[in-house]
Amino acid sequence: MPALRVQAKKKTSGKDFTTRQTRINTMEEPMTSSPSWLSLSLAFRCLTILVFCFPLFAANIYPTAAHEAPTSVISDLVGSVRPSVVGIYMRGLLDPDQAASRTGPPQIYEQVGTGSIVSSEGYIITNKHVVKNAYHIEVTLYDGTHTKGQVLGAARNFDLAVVKIPKSGLPAVKLGDSNQVKVGELVIAIGNPLGLQQTVSAGVVSAIHRNMGFSDFDDLIQTDAAINPGNSGGPLFNSDGELIGINQAIYTIGAEKGSIGLGFAIASNQARYLFDHVQTGSTDQGVLGASIQRLTPELARASSSDRVTGVLVAEVLPGSAAAKAGVQAGDIITRFADQTITDTSQLNRAVVRSATETKNLSFERGGKEINVSVFIPETSEPTIIPGQLPGPRLTSLKDVGLELGAKDTGEVVVGSVVDNSVADVTGFKTGDIVLAVQNAKITKASDFDAAIAKSISDKVPGVRILLSNQKGRRWVYLALTE
């Protein structure tokens, strides 16, 4: 299954952009099997499929200055921070509305990503897209321990989410100050590309404060450290072992999906902001009430301005903070809270952090600068959105997405499997022979129905099922409840 991609026409605002034959890939790795993704057999199966289709995955042919750093420096750094990096397996709903309406078997998907322990009490930061519509989260710690996780919340404005696991005394990362990041400094990325746990790559900071259009609040660190599908949500460390970024996406060319040395990480200060809000339950985010866009040289000249920085106001909402301050459509906002404004994301981030405060605002109109004070109210929209959904309700074979029949020999055979259903993700294949549920032999379809119905009635979380086909026998785990 190909990696989830953010793909659209190039545009000046919105969540994604590409030019022709160019793609931005978020880096979670969708899975086509059960949580046994943690085994080497699954990792190699994923790798084989993707290397076959995308040869660039086979090697990183883009050397960086970081490769010249003393091996002992990188090795010691990696050894000190790896215990704080976790693997995340999720199972989620492709269409929550469809699952709720029960119009056919729930459509589900599963994928792997990465996270960082940010508190010894079991709080983990990852990308929002890694746990999107999740109803089941499984976290794998550095020592191989598996534990269930719960998505506490996700940021409305950022691609960030917080997962909690029932563990304490965990090794936590040290959150660095992303405002101190410098272009050219050494960085280390750790994650689970293609399900290969605890993979390490090294590189440098290629650029800072990138705005790639993923959101209206982008503040991205660009790096040439190799990151691939499965790295999403994982840490980007500096040479002091501090987390300075959350790996989010890669920039690729043509049909390839692997790293070409253009990766992007969300600045750690945004991660700290989200974590603080989740811990305190605070919902304070400021709103200016103006729609803004990038100021091009042509638009500046047409606005009687010789400015090369600032943002152009497209619309002002009636009664908003911007309207009360006298801002009008066509104005060029040049400064806010004593900061020179260079792009839309910078202003959006500054306003969000200014709730219930009065700030200085400067804007230009007709070539003349106007300075005012503006009170920033709290937004009425939630800062943190619910992170985890209830699992699909399974009460019958139809809900599982499975249809059984009988062979002339009396064997119970899988007649069909609904695409993206629980049965499909579990690993059932059309033509499989069902031999046993748990330890009970299955000799007719009604035996299977009865065994599953009893397990559901007893609220058993899942059962093991023995299947057989031309390749031999295998057990699969069918999750029934969450």
387 falls within a domain: no
What burial class does residue 130 get, using C-beta atoms within 10 Å of its C-beta: 0-12 exposed, 13-18 middle, 19+ buried? buried
Asked if residue 457 is part of any domain, the answer here is: yes
Put simply, whether the predicted model's pTM sits higher than 0.75 gets the answer no
Measured CA to CA, the distance from residue 98 to residue 360 in angstroms comes to 48
Domain check: are 121 and 200 in the same one? yes
Q: How far apart are the first and last CA of the chain?
A: 25
pLDDT at position 68: 55
Residues 415 and 377 in one domain: no
Are both 373 and 274 inside the same structural domain? Answer: no
Contact 213, 15 (CB under 8 A): yes
Residue 386 in any domain: the answer is: no
Question: How far is C-alpha 449 from the chain's CA centre?
Answer: 37
CB 263 within 8 A of CB 223: yes
The answer to whether residue 391 sits within a structural domain is no
Same domain, 157 and 256: yes
pLDDT tens-digit series, residues 424-435: 998 999 999 999
Cα–Cα distances (Å) from 285 to 16, 277, 318, in that order, read 23, 10, 19
Assign 53 a pLDDT band (cuts: 50, 70, 90): very low
pLDDT in tens, 261-299: 889 999 998 888 778 777 666 667 788 999 999 898 899
Mean pLDDT score of the chain: 81
Residue 5: predicted pLDDT: 35
CB 193 within 8 Å of CB 227: yes
pLDDT at site 223: 95
Give the domain extent around 38. Answer: 5-280
Asked whether residue 258 falls in the same domain as residue 297, the answer is no
C-alpha closest to that of 220 among 199, 230, 206, 241? 206
Catalytic residue IDs:
129, 159, 232
189 and 69 together in one domain: yes
Residue 40 has pLDDT above 80, yes or no: no
Are residues 320 and 440 located together in one domain of the fold? no
Indicate whether 19 and 103 sit together in one domain: yes
Q: What is the CATH number of the domain that holds 424?
A: 2.30.42.10
Domain boundary among 346, 381, 416: 381
Q: Considering the domain boundaries, does residue 169 fall inside one?
A: yes
12 within domain boundaries: yes
**Composition of the chain by helix, strand, coil, percent to 5:** 25, 35, 40
* Structural domain total, the chain: 3
Indicate whether 129 and 258 sit together in one domain: yes
Contact at 8 Å (CB) between 43 and 195?
yes
Find, among 430, 447, 439, 431, the residue nearest to 475 by Cα. Answer: 439
Which among 226, 260, 280 is the end of a domain?
280
Helices within 262-373 (DSSP H only)? 268-280, 297-302, 321-324, 344-352
Residue 98 lies in a domain: yes
Q: What is the tens place of the pLDDT at every residue in 194-248?
A: 888 899 999 999 999 988 877 777 889 999 999 888 899 999 999 999 999 999 9
| Model confidence pLDDT, tens digit, residues 374-416 | 999 988 777 777 778 888 877 777 888 888 888 877 789 999 9
pLDDT tens digits, one per residue of 419-470: 999 999 989 999 999 999 988 888 887 888 888 888 878 888 889 999 999 9
Looking at 248, 280, 312, the residue that finishes a domain is 280
Identify whether residues 243 and 336 lie together within a single domain: no
Q: Are residues 362 and 401 in the same domain?
A: no
CATH number for 214: 2.40.10.120
Among the listed residues 153, 88, 76, the one whose alpha carbon sits nearest the alpha carbon of residue 117: 88
338 shares its domain with 255 = no
Q: Does some domain include residue 388?
A: no
Determine the average pLDDT of the residues in 110-138: 93
